[in-house]
Amino acid sequence: MNSKTSIKNGWSEKQLGSIRLSDRIYDLITERIIEGSIRYGDSLNIKQIAEELQVSPMPVRDAIKRLESEGLVVVRPQSKCYVRIPTQESMLNAFELRSILEIASLDKIYRTVRPKDLENMKEYLERMEQCVPGWYDSDQMREYVKYDQLFHREICVLTGNEYVVNSHRYALLHLNIALTFAAGVTPDLEQVHNDHRSLFQYLSENSEQCIEVLRRHLITCKQNMIRGEMFKSLE
pLDDT tens, position by position, 185-213: 877 888 888 999 999 999 999 999 999 99
Looking at the domain assignment, is residue 36 inside a domain? yes
Instruction: Show which of 65, 83, 101 is a domain's final residue.
Output: 83
Looking at the domain assignment, is residue 56 inside a domain? yes
Q: What is the C-alpha to C-alpha distance for residues 203 and 111, in angstroms, rounded to an integer?
A: 8
153 φ/ψ angles, rounded to the nearest 5 degrees? -65, -35
Looking at the domain assignment, is residue 58 inside a domain? yes
Q: What is the mean pLDDT of residues 49-68?
A: 90
Looking at the domain assignment, is residue 102 inside a domain? yes
Q: Are residues 78 and 109 in the same domain?
A: no
Q: What is the C-alpha to C-alpha distance for residues 8 and 10, in angstroms, rounded to an integer?
A: 6
Instruction: Of 49-53, 93-97, 126-130, give the lowest mean pLDDT range.
Output: 49-53
Q: What is the C-alpha to C-alpha distance for residues 169 and 176, in angstroms, rounded to an integer?
A: 9
Looking at the domain assignment, is residue 2 inside a domain? no
Torsion, Cα 183 146 209 198, to 10 degrees, reads -100
Q: Are residues 78 and 32 in the same domain?
A: yes
Distance of CA 155 to the CA centre of its chain: 13
Q: Are residues 110 and 198 in the same domain?
A: yes
Look over the chain and give the mean of its residue pLDDT values, rounded to a whole number.
87
Q: Are residues 78 and 166 in the same domain?
A: no
Q: Are residues 158 and 225 in the same domain?
A: yes
Domain extent, residue 125, equals 88-233
Q: Are residues 116 and 24 in the same domain?
A: no
Q: Are residues 34 and 150 in the same domain?
A: no
Looking at the domain assignment, is residue 5 inside a domain? no
Instruction: Show which of 83, 103, 120 is a domain's final residue.
Output: 83
Q: Are residues 53 and 141 in the same domain?
A: no
Q: What is the pLDDT of residues 76-99, one digit of tens each?
A: 877 689 999 999 999 999 999 999
The CATH number of whichever domain residue 68 belongs to comes to 1.10.10.10
Q: Are residues 111 and 72 in the same domain?
A: no
Name residues whose C-beta falls within 8 Å of residue 35's C-beta, 6 or more positions apart in sequence.
Answer: 146, 149, 176, 178
Q: What is the mean pLDDT of residues 55-59?
A: 90
Which position has the higher pLDDT, 103 or 51?
A: 103
Instruction: Show which of 55, 83, 111 is a domain's final residue.
Output: 83
Residue 2 has pLDDT above 50, yes or no: no
DSSP state of 43: B
Instruction: Grade residue 135 by pLDDT with cuts at 50, 70 and 90.
Output: low
Looking at the domain assignment, is residue 1 inside a domain? no
Instruction: Of 36-40, 137-141, 227-231, give the lowest mean pLDDT range.
Output: 137-141
Q: Are residues 19 and 132 in the same domain?
A: no
pTM (2 d.p.): 0.84
Helical H runs in the chain? 13-35, 46-53, 57-69, 88-109, 119-131, 138-157, 162-174, 177-183, 189-204, 209-227, 229-233
- Residue 155's CB: how many other CB atoms inside 10 A? 25
> Which of helix, strand or coil describes residue 127?
helix
Q: How many domains does the chain have?
A: 2
**What is the pLDDT at residue 17?**
53
